[in-house]
Structure 1
Amino acid sequence: MLLFGLGVLSGVTTALFGFGGGFVTVPVVYAVAAAGPGAMHVAVGTSAAVMLVNSLGATVTVARAGRLHREYVWPLAAFVAAGASLGALAATSVPDGVLHALFAAYLAATILDSLLRRGFVHGSERRPLSRATVTAGGLGIGAVAAFLGVGGSVLTVPLLRRRGLPMSDATALANPLSLPVAAVATAVYLTAPGPAAIDPAAAGLLLAGSLPTIALLRRWSPAIPDRAHAVAYLGLLGAALVTVLA
């Protein structure tokens, strides 16, 4: 029931905040699998599999709604995918405790950066992505996201927000940009040697809760004021950090 309920929450965050589920599923699966070996690796691998399905469904919704702004998605997505292959491979050889500590540090750094630097909470003037951001930035986003099993939304949403996009568009575009990360990471974890790094039972229960929720929010998506949307995004990151540390 815990996994199913958190699957519902994962569906809400996917549809409204662009989280493919990583910040929800990693702490929860880690807690469930904490008694077993390699719990953090199982959490990250399972998160990637859940994000793959959730992000694909949300991306289809964004495309059908005509909100898939190509200039912000391509070729950034290609560089994100390339970086993801490196990050996922690296994660399979990192000690479990190190991966857990880096996940918490990543959350904390993102929250502080979004609060202290201008452009996230209040927005900024709209600008295109630079070549350096698309190439080097895309590789870095993919590598970090796949390494930690978080899909990349916590990097792409602040990035697009500081390029002047409203939160509704920035979070919507986070799903197609998370899709290559989830696909690459899932493939790496499925083929990695050693014990299985994806828990099919946990993934199934999480998806049983998330997929109907995403479908429901496709039809009845609430209108959230832009600034409140940004503050709520940071609030969810803070809740995820507390969960990981606890």
Structure 2
Amino acid sequence: MNLGELRLIRKLTSHDHETLFSFLQEEASFNLFIIGDIESFGYNEDFQEIWGEFTEDGTLKAVLLRYYDSYIPYARSPFNVDAFAEMMKSKHDSIQLSGKTEVVAQFEKVRGLPLGKKRVMYFCECTSDTYVEEETNFDIKIATIEDVDRIIELRNGISEFKTTPSTRRMLLKSFETKTGRTYYIEENGKMVSSASTTAENSLSAMVVGVCTDERYRQKGYASAIMQKLIKDLISEGKRLCLFYDNPKAGNIYKRLGFYDIGTWTMYR
């Protein structure tokens, strides 16, 4: 970066919090990971940094979050892609990049940036419980940290799911930091269907891990759990977000009140 770029791009601190959140809240759903990480870990952790690019008059125009070796950029207008890319390259040989498609796609033309395999998913949100039934006939329970291994066991038994060694660690962390929750249904003491949230913050939450054991499908379990999630989070003043790349799955969520707001791209 040249001297001019250094003056316009700097690491943000708690003194920038109000300016940063005002900027991020314009598209709170797309920024739920950035918002959640800042609310959970602040500005002084070694594993997390957030950088901001400013205009000449001091207006924030773009941000870049680093969480370990993962990066999320966000901007609503043209920004210095090359400068942000140089910052990423200087810290890591392998980069995990994700974000709003229109933003992260601009990094594809940067030479020498080690991006991984590209995956584009639909991004949708739910801001109302209009389509939620008042009551269900199912006993839906809220998981505790003691249920983590049961959740992993359920997911491991489903062909559509790919768990990794970090899955358990991340699930534990979401319980410990209260940035996630899991609702589930069981039969004869066995967890057979569940849905979780992650990256919960004061404004929104990401829905993940919606699954049902293949032997217990077609009973409406997952739909009932999702309806409870929607009802509870909307009552807390939060919007729900989720990714999907299967149109059939998308139609199921849309019947519950979700609607598409764009696409999200990951490079892994």
The normalised TM-score by structure 1 is 0.28
Larger CA Rg, structure 1 vs 2: 2
Q: Report which structure shows greater RCO (CA 8 Å, sep ≥6).
A: 1
Q: TM-score, normalised by structure 2?
A: 0.26
Q: Which has the larger share of helix?
A: 1
